[in-house]
Structure 1
């Protein structure tokens, strides 16, 4: 299969790209900064913004005659640093407007499958989120990302796309001291409301990436949200 990727330079997105290529698929990645992702066999890189419908259209045809059969979106908001208190750099509605643009362009092109990485706490999963997690999100600037992911949740349900929202619990990012086999952790799915989430839950970016690819390739959880944890 051939995929359109948005967010492929991020810490989860780069795993999605590698996972797709390792399975023999191909992809075109739309990146905001030239040189932030190196093209390689099976991966075409296009510089542009997900806020520009023309840039998204250019990405769709960048690997002609290949045509994406689905999109995987792992975009996130950007802060000045990794600190949860760092100032927000992304414009308001960056995620929501990007997702709306992608879905509109894909629909016009006759492409109806999109898988979006979201976060636990969005939509009906807020009620099941541990109270400490709620307090942390409300106290820090992570609340802005949560709000934007919530807008994505609303926007995508207004489309005619065959969408899936993958709501990840607390992400565990790459540890350079880990061996590759250490990241092959089992992934557990919960209902859209995340019933059963615990404060100690986390999920590795590598396992989320594998799940995103599996959902996109196999057509799982269509028109639904799913919470994932290790």
Structure 2
């Protein structure tokens, strides 16, 4: 398969790019700077992830667009603006499969968090999560075949197992589940390759 990756230079994006390439897939990384450090096996295109025309041109001939972007402090609506651009780009490129990393505690998952996590999300993370909520509202109203992944706090652990539970089927969690970046990337890749979890929000958390 061929993937266009937004956020390929980030700590989660790097894992996705490597996993995809190691498994024989092709990857195009859309980056802000042409000199960005990306796996040399990937094709690199520079441009803005919030520009629909740029995304459409880069996505031409690909099977899916993958976003591992995080909220940037200098761009408080980055996720919303990117999702809006991806939706518009699909009408040009015809690439309507889109998978994106969000966060546990966003939107309808907030009532399923612990009291402490609820308090943190509602205060310290409120602005960042509002951006994600707005982006997901756009996705739900679109014609894209989207998948949204909700990991817990990200870690750099390796060789850990994980569970993937559709949000609607998840019961309230007493703790804030952590998720290894490797597992976040693995879930995205598996879902894309298997064409699974279309128009679903899935909570991904490490297990013992």
Whether contact under 8 Å (2:117, 2:176) holds in the other structure is no
Question: Can you give the 5+ residue segments of structure 2 that lack an aligned partner in the other structure?
Answer: none
Whether contact under 8 Å (2:8, 2:38) holds in the other structure is no
Aligned partner of 2:58 in structure 1 is 59
Change (3 A) 1:200 1:137: closer
Query: How far did 1:121 drift?
Result: 1.2
Query: How far did 1:184 drift?
Result: 1.6
Query: How far did 1:158 drift?
Result: 1.2
| Alignment counterpart, residue 74 of structure 1, candidates 61, 68, 71 | 68
Aligned partner of 2:105 in structure 1 is 121
Whether contact under 8 Å (1:12, 1:206) holds in the other structure is yes
Task: State the alpha-carbon separation in 2 of the partners of residues 89 and 169 from structure 1.
Answer: 23
SS at match of 1:219: coil
Query: How far did 1:46 drift?
Result: 0.9
Query: How far did 1:191 drift?
Result: 2.9
Higher normalized helix content (fraction of residues): 2
Runs of 4+ in 1 over 4 A off after TM superposition: none
Query: How far did 1:139 drift?
Result: 3.1
Task: State the alpha-carbon separation in 2 of the partners of residues 131 and 162 from structure 1.
Answer: 33
Whether contact under 8 Å (1:72, 1:116) holds in the other structure is yes
Whether contact under 8 Å (2:111, 2:172) holds in the other structure is no
- Deviation by residue 1:195-229 (Cα, 9 ceiling, x = unmatched): 24232521100111111100011111111111110
Whether contact under 8 Å (2:111, 2:118) holds in the other structure is no
Query: How far did 1:70 drift?
Result: 0.6
SS at match of 1:36: coil
Task: Give TM-score scaled by structure 1 length.
Answer: 0.84
The number of residues matched between the two structures is: 205
Task: State the alpha-carbon separation in 2 of the partners of residues 103 and 13 from structure 1.
Answer: 20
| Alignment counterpart, residue 185 of structure 1, candidates 160, 183, 208 | 160
Aligned partner of 2:127 in structure 1 is 144
Query: How far did 1:39 drift?
Result: 5.1
Q: Does 1:131 align with 2:110?
A: no
Aligned partner of 1:226 in structure 2 is 202
Q: Does 1:19 align with 2:19?
A: yes
SS at match of 2:30: strand
Question: Can you give the 5+ residue segments of structure 1 that lack an aligned partner in the other structure?
Answer: 62-66, 79-87, 176-182
Task: State the alpha-carbon separation in 1 of the partners of residues 137 and 177 from structure 2.
Answer: 26
Query: How far did 1:38 drift?
Result: 3.1
